[in-house]
Amino acid sequence: MKVGMLTSGGDCQGLNSALRGVAKTLYNELGNTVAIYGIRDGYRGLIERDYHIMRPEDFSDILTRGGTILGTSRQPFKDMTKAGEEDEETKLEKMLKTVKQEGFDCLVILGGNGTHKTANLLSEHGVNVVTLPKTIDNDLWGTEVTFGFQSAIDIATSVIDSIHSTAFSHSRVFIVEIMGHKAGWLTLYAGIASGADVIVIPEIPYSAEKIARAIQKRQDSGKQFSILAVAEGAISKEEAKMSKKEFKAAREAMTQPSISYRIADELKELTGQEIRVTIPGHYQRGGIPCAADRLLTSRLGVAAAQLIQQKKFGYMVAVQSNQIVPVPLKDVAGKLKTVPPDGEVVRAARALGLSMGD
Round to whole Å and give the CA distance between 327 and 314. Answer: 8
pLDDT at 86: 63
User: What would the pLDDT profile of 164-212 be if each residue is shown by its tens digit?
Assistant: 999 988 889 999 999 999 999 999 999 999 999 999 999 999 999 999 9
Report the SS3 class of residue 273: coil
DSSP letters, 38-86, are EETTTHHHHHHT-EEEE-GGGGTT-TT--S-TT------GGGTT---ST
Round to whole Å and give the CA distance between 109 and 126. Answer: 15
Task: Decide if 24 contacts 129 (C-beta within 8 A).
Answer: no
User: What would the pLDDT profile of 36-51 be if each residue is shown by its tens digit?
Assistant: 999 999 999 999 999 9
pLDDT at 85: 67
Q: How far is CA 339 from CA 22, 202, 313, 346, in A?
A: 30, 9, 30, 8
Report the SS3 class of residue 214: helix
Q: Give the residues of the chain that fall short of pLDDT 50.
A: none
Identify the CATH number of the domain defined by range 2-147+289-332: 3.40.50.450
Q: How far is CA 188 from CA 36, 83, 147, 213, 231, in A?
A: 39, 41, 17, 20, 9
pTM of structure: 0.94
pLDDT at 171: 85
Identify the CATH number of the domain defined by range 152-285: 3.40.50.460
User: 314-336 burial, b if ≥16 CB within 10 A, otherwise e?
Assistant: bbbbbbeeeebebbebeebbeee
Beta strands in the chain (DSSP E): 2-7, 35-39, 51-54, 106-111, 129-133, 173-178, 198-200, 226-231, 275-278, 315-320, 323-328
Report the SS3 class of residue 29: helix
pLDDT at 87: 64
Task: Decide if 358 contacts 205 (C-beta within 8 A).
Answer: yes
Q: Please report, for the chain, the start and end positions of each structural domain, with discontinuous segments joined by +.
A: 2-147+289-332, 152-285
Asked whether this chain's domains 2-147+289-332 and 152-285 adopt the same fold, the reply is yes
Q: In DSSP terms, which residues pair with 199 in a beta bridge?
A: 229
Decide: residue 29, CB within 10 A, 0-12 exposed, 13-18 middle, 19+ buried.
Answer: middle
Q: Is 137 a catalytic residue?
A: yes
Which of 137, 139, 197, 293 does the annotation list as catalytic? 137
Round to whole Å and give the CA distance between 134 and 13. Answer: 9
pLDDT at 335: 95
- The dihedral formed by the CA atoms of 241, 243, 247 and 249, expressed in degrees to the nearest 10: -140
Round to whole Å and give the CA distance between 355 and 111. Answer: 33
Q: Please give the helix or strand (H or E) that residue 347 lies within, else none.
A: helix 344-351
Q: In DSSP terms, which residues pair with 52 in a beta bridge?
A: 38
Report the SS3 class of residue 104: coil
